[in-house]
Amino acid sequence: MDHFEYRDGVLHAEDIPLPQIAEEIGTPVYVYSRATLERHAQVFADALKDIPKKHIAFAIKCNPNLGVLRVLARQGYGADVVSGGELERALAAGMAAEDIVFSGVGKTRAELALGLDRGIGQFNIEHEPEGVALSEIAVGKETTARAVLRVNPDVDAGTHAKISTGKAENKFGVGIDAAPAIFDRLSALPGLKMRGVALHIGSQLTSLDPLEAAFARVGRLVAELRAAGHSITHVDLGGGLGVPYRPEDNPPTPAEYGAMVARVTKDWDVTLMFEPGRVIAGNTGVLLTEVLWVKPGAVSPFVIVDAAMNDLARPALYDAYHDFVAVRPTGEKMTASIVGPVCETGDTFARDRVIDKVAAGDLAAFRTAGAYGATMASTYNSRSLVPEVLVDGDRYVTVADRIAAGTIMAAERVPDWID
Ligand code: LLP
């Protein structure tokens, strides 16, 4: 459920007609709905009602906009961060340091030190040398880092290869068989409080089965670690729940996920940690765009829009599907390929798809663009960096400015030794 609806034939974000935003801010522009964001955050939290001890950390990589983060902070969400930049964003948005979890396969020593200086709640250690480094830095600062060891359960998440993270051949975590010995050694280090384990097997998961298989493996590992004398108080189950991109998609609901987690983990007696991203933010945003031209093609016409792969990279990167709808649909349909202005064929949002009939000058929206949309934008082809707007009922604010191509160019220089 979301709050992007047609009223009098015009697509609205809550009470704001999208043409008003196009007129005032220009296109392309991401538009988020606060009510939708809050609803998803609430639905996910409600789905975990049977879990006695829990902590929810929004995976801010999927939408790190400060306005968005502030909404989630007010809902009681913490943050899962993967860089110093994300860490500072979470704090700037009002998230408490102790509610921040630091994940990521390549944290630098400077980032580990930053996490300690800011007093974050937990480091998710990806391999032994990182744990050793964290221990050394913590000792140097006369502090203790709370940490868990990320394990790789070797489970096929059944998602796109580029966003699958829990197979043995992926770069993430330590092999689950090697985990007990590594955990032993890290636990003996000063400055490090090893308190549990973490996993994350992939994103846009459309079945609970791989998650359940991975959680069961981690449950056995927890028992093994306890048998070896370790105190295990936290298990971080990661994120990964998929969202419907196509009308016919039917991924597991948060309630089904929560029930499965409660069942599988009922005897664990730990604080369970969650890192949802897409399931919270995906449906809360659209990318609003204007049709520039409709050009005849050999197979079907090209609808050339003013958004491009630099604004929404998912179709080019993962062949991802984003629904495309007219802001003022006439009821007529056409078969077309939807493309952006960037000079490569990869800049294609859809091939030969049946869509609302549109003409040059019409507005249209890519749906389900609130997660991994603006955050992955670039300025390729010297295009501006796409702006973001947050709607709240009948008001809205530009929560990220359009950064003009000229501003980007102003940060460059020609060496004076090139004449
Ligand atoms: N925790 C960790 C350690 C992660 O690496 C991720 C996502 C998440 C949580 C959140 O996963 P989610 O709940 O959003 O599935 N750019 C790709 C997705 C990359 C996901 C990376 N890791 C896309 O556009 O599909």
pLDDT at 227 over 90: yes
CA of 295 to the centre of ligand 1 (A): 36
Q: Determine the pLDDT at residue 301.
A: 98
372 touches ligand 1 (CB under 6 Å): yes
Structural domain ending residue among the three candidates 245, 278, 311: 278
Q: Taking Cα atoms as reference points, which of 54, 52, 98, 61 lies closest to residue 80?
A: 61
Band the pLDDT of 352: cuts 50, 70, 90: very high
Q: Which domain holds residue 270?
A: 34-278
CATH of the domain at 198: 3.20.20.10
Judge if 258 and 210 occupy the same domain.
Answer: yes
**pLDDT mean over 221-247:** 97
**pLDDT mean over 308-314:** 98
**pLDDT mean over 387-416:** 98
Indicate whether 60 belongs to any domain.
yes
Band the pLDDT of 107: cuts 50, 70, 90: very high
SS3 85: helix
Report which ligand 1 atom has the smallest distance to the Cα of 276.
Answer: 13
Tell me how far apart the alpha carbons of residues 256 and 252 are, in angstroms, rounded to a whole number. 6
CA atoms within 13 A on the CB side of 203: 17
CA of 325 to the centre of ligand 1 (A): 26
Contact, 87 vs 120, CB < 8 A? yes
Q: Taking Cα atoms as reference points, which of 148, 249, 129 lies closest to residue 200?
A: 148
pLDDT at 1 over 90: no
Structural domain ending residue among the three candidates 278, 299, 324: 278
pLDDT at 162 over 90: no
Judge if 188 and 286 occupy the same domain.
Answer: no
Rounded to 5°, angle at Cα 162 from 302 and 104: 130
Report which ligand 1 atom has the smallest distance to the Cα of 275.
Answer: 9
Per-residue pLDDT of 163-173, as tens digits, reads: 888 888 889 99
CATH of the domain at 393: 2.40.37.10
Q: Which helix (H) or strand (E) holds 316?
A: helix 314-318
Judge if 165 and 17 occupy the same domain.
Answer: no
Judge if 208 and 99 occupy the same domain.
Answer: yes
* Residues assigned a catalytic role: 343
200 touches ligand 1 (CB under 6 Å): yes
Judge if 258 and 122 occupy the same domain.
Answer: yes
238 touches ligand 1 (CB under 6 Å): yes
pLDDT at 106 over 90: yes
- For residue 88, how many other CB atoms are within 10 A of its CB? 13
Judge if 13 and 77 occupy the same domain.
Answer: no
How many domains does the chain fold into? 2
Contact, 390 vs 397, CB < 8 A? yes
Mean per-residue pLDDT of the chain: 97
Structural domain ending residue among the three candidates 278, 313, 347: 278
Judge if 224 and 246 occupy the same domain.
Answer: yes
276 touches ligand 1 (CB under 6 Å): yes
Q: Determine the pLDDT at residue 168.
A: 84
pLDDT at 156 over 90: no
Report which ligand 1 atom has the smallest distance to the Cα of 203.
Answer: 15
**pLDDT mean over 60-86:** 98
Per-residue pLDDT of 57-66, as tens digits, reads: 999 999 999 9
Judge if 98 and 241 occupy the same domain.
Answer: yes
Judge if 292 and 322 occupy the same domain.
Answer: yes
159 touches ligand 1 (CB under 6 Å): no
Indicate whether 417 belongs to any domain.
no
Q: Determine the pLDDT at residue 97.
A: 98
Tell me how far apart the alpha carbons of residues 63 and 282 are, in angstroms, rounded to a whole number. 9
Residue owning tokens 């004449």? 419
Rounded to 5°, angle at Cα 392 from 9 and 365: 40
Q: Which of 55, 60, 148, 203 to mutate to test the pocket of ligand 1 (most atoms within 8 A of CB)?
A: 203
CA of 126 to the centre of ligand 1 (A): 16
Say what the pTM is: 0.97
Contact, 4 vs 382, CB < 8 A? no
